[in-house]
Structure 1
């Protein structure tokens, strides 16, 4: 990336993540609703509307057991479910890494694995870690990275860890996010009434997610630091 993008397109999975971005001239933010196919479509639309760089921003699940909730992942590579590797833009990556370090934030490098579905069990996470050696997993980064690679534009993925490698997730989490990326609280409540034993895991996930969002919140407001002044 030899020059600063004229317009930066940011794709998140959840509306809560999108709301963390301060925005500004030259920065556009969309939410994919935790849907890989929609993330890919939205990324393409952003390029058609003039974006010259793409970023995946939000929370992720840990695959590496050493990671804890709130840890920040600045990916060097994103790996698709089929094993294709998409390197993040090195110049942009280095600039953001230096900016974060100067601001007192610690970002972990490594790889993010893409998945079209939520990894609910600790066994699923362990198997994914063993097969890919990726530090974290999410549902949007690989889709956005693929669009960026096809179009030849810079791409970066910045994610904060929510659920940890040793956390099993309640099964209903796959069904309680709307297409707009908002939580469907009625569906969640109904699911807990049917499966009250999922409550401890649900509360733990809520706490972990809050910690991840807190990590992202300070970054999303510092667009000059995070995006190199693209806005």
Structure 2
């Protein structure tokens, strides 16, 4: 990887802030929008980054995955393209090991347990996010190593409440006022919203730990070939 920094695309400002990578990587935020994730990855590739990484939260499709669980999936699936494969050498360089998990890139929010079960049945994927497949596509086009590092935020049997859906601004910040206004109209969402906040907090704490590991690995000189 040389001394050139890798490029990382996150969906949310909170994910970027949890990683706290400073100057060891170039980080972009896509606002949880697939097309913006692809555009950010293309911009990073054009800058000459050494690799592209997709880092952030994911929703579980498979039972047994819990909030805070880290996945470094070997395979990235999408509806539009053939499967992408993560770079094992890049994972090793970062002190990580690929798992057999399959991550599904999806263009819309997967909010309900029924939707999650349907995607699990149709694809066999263990988890889902909205950015990794687009970033992997760019990495493939530019001939760059690619890796996804994802932390489960919502388990397969739990829904994202309607008051929390579509609450991310294009800049990656959360529109709290909009969420509260929706909650006033749907007070029955409050228990689920509290659970979502608790689970998201656990996932962000794991992202902080991942950020420390990445910062330590990226601060070391690359091994001589």
Return the TM-score normalized by structure 1: 0.89
1:153 maps to what in 2? 144
Q: In structure 2, list runs of 5 or more residues that go unmatched.
A: none
Deviates more, 1:107-116 or 1:205-214: 107-116
Contact (CA 8 Å) 2:74, 2:99: kept in 1 or not? no
1:50 maps to what in 2? 48
Matched, 1:82 2:73: no
Residue of structure 1 aligned with 2:167, choices 154, 172, 176: 176
Residue of structure 2 aligned with 1:113, choices 84, 98, 104: 104
Deviates more, 1:52-61 or 1:85-94: 85-94
Q: In structure 1, list runs of 5 or more residues that go unmatched.
A: 102-106
Matched, 1:163 2:162: no
Matches of 1:173 and 1:117, distance apart in 2: 14
Equivalent positions of 1:215-226 (< 5 A) are 215-225=206-216
Equivalent positions of 1:57-136 (< 5 A) are 57-82=55-80, 84-96=82-94, 99-100=95-96, 108-136=99-127
CA RMSD of aligned residues (A): 2.0
Return the TM-score normalized by structure 2: 0.91
Deviation at 1:135, TM superposition (A): 1.1
Matches of 1:190 and 1:176, distance apart in 2: 11
Matches of 1:9 and 1:157, distance apart in 2: 12
Deviation at 1:92, TM superposition (A): 1.4
Matched, 1:209 2:207: no
Matches of 1:78 and 1:5, distance apart in 2: 27
Contact (CA 8 Å) 1:176, 1:183: kept in 2 or not? yes
